[in-house]
Chains A and B, each alone.
Chain A
Amino acid sequence: EDKVVQSPLSLVVHEGDTVTLNCSYEVTNFRSLLWYKQEKKAPTFLFMLTSSGIEKKSGRLSSILDKKELFSILNITATQTGDSAVYLCAVSASSASKIIFGSGTRLSIRP
């Protein structure tokens, strides 16, 4: 059964800290892994990863994929209160017309 597991489920840190969010997956015919940030209703796209070992960066956020060990991490450096959100990891597979989402990591940044 295809599945995506995120850890930790929730995380509370102080502003300025660095955090690492984890996403592991088991999926047949992996195609891509996506990270989203969800603050209110609609998730917003962060990164799409298809190749192992290539880091993608956007400001203080970065992500990398390990297709051998079947996981990805999302790093946030110098966290700010605006980073508080649920971070969702999703995996798509070429053999199925569906995207599998993890349950998310709820990140809370304390001032």
Chain B
Amino acid sequence: GAGVSQSPSNKVTEKGKDVELRCDPISGHTALYWYRQSLGQGLEFLIYFQGNSAPDKSGLPSDRFSAERTGGSVSTLTIQRTQQEDSAVYLCASSLVRAREETQYFGPGTRLLVL
């Protein structure tokens, strides 16, 4: 596609439910990033994929968060047993080749509200 796409654009869920957020990076981009942005806050790094592997998962807030990437393309971020503090905009970004090109292109984000 022309840019990074994310779905759903908005998600309202009840506390304790699981949610799955999807990111489709720009075709050919090998690096993919997940960030979280709470209301009025800066971007919080969550996880980075190079290809299908995530070298560093330490940015994930808790063990309720997991992410995977398949086929070097689509990535899903799963939040289990959601809590109200998980409410935020979840942004995905992709870049071409991380070693030489740092420019990240962001998707429109998924706004998650946990009631």
Binding site for B on A (CB under 8 A): 31-32, 34, 36, 41-45, 48, 88, 90, 92, 96-104
Q: Report B82-114 residues with CB < 8 Å from chain A CB.
A: 89, 91, 98, 102-109, 111
Chain B at the A interface: mostly helix, strand, loop or mixed? loop
Q: How far is the CA of A31 from the CA of B95 in the complex (A)?
A: 15
Q: A42-B109, A98-B59 are in contact. List 14 more A-B contacts (CB 8 A).
A: A32-B102, A34-B103, A41-B89, A41-B108, A41-B109, A42-B106, A43-B106, A88-B42, A97-B98, A98-B48, A99-B45, A101-B44, A101-B45, A103-B41
Residues of A within 8 A of B55 (CB): 97
Binding site for A on B (CB under 8 A): 33, 35, 41-45, 48, 50, 55-56, 59, 89, 91, 98, 102-109, 111
Residues of A within 8 A of B102 (CB): 31-32, 34, 48, 92, 99
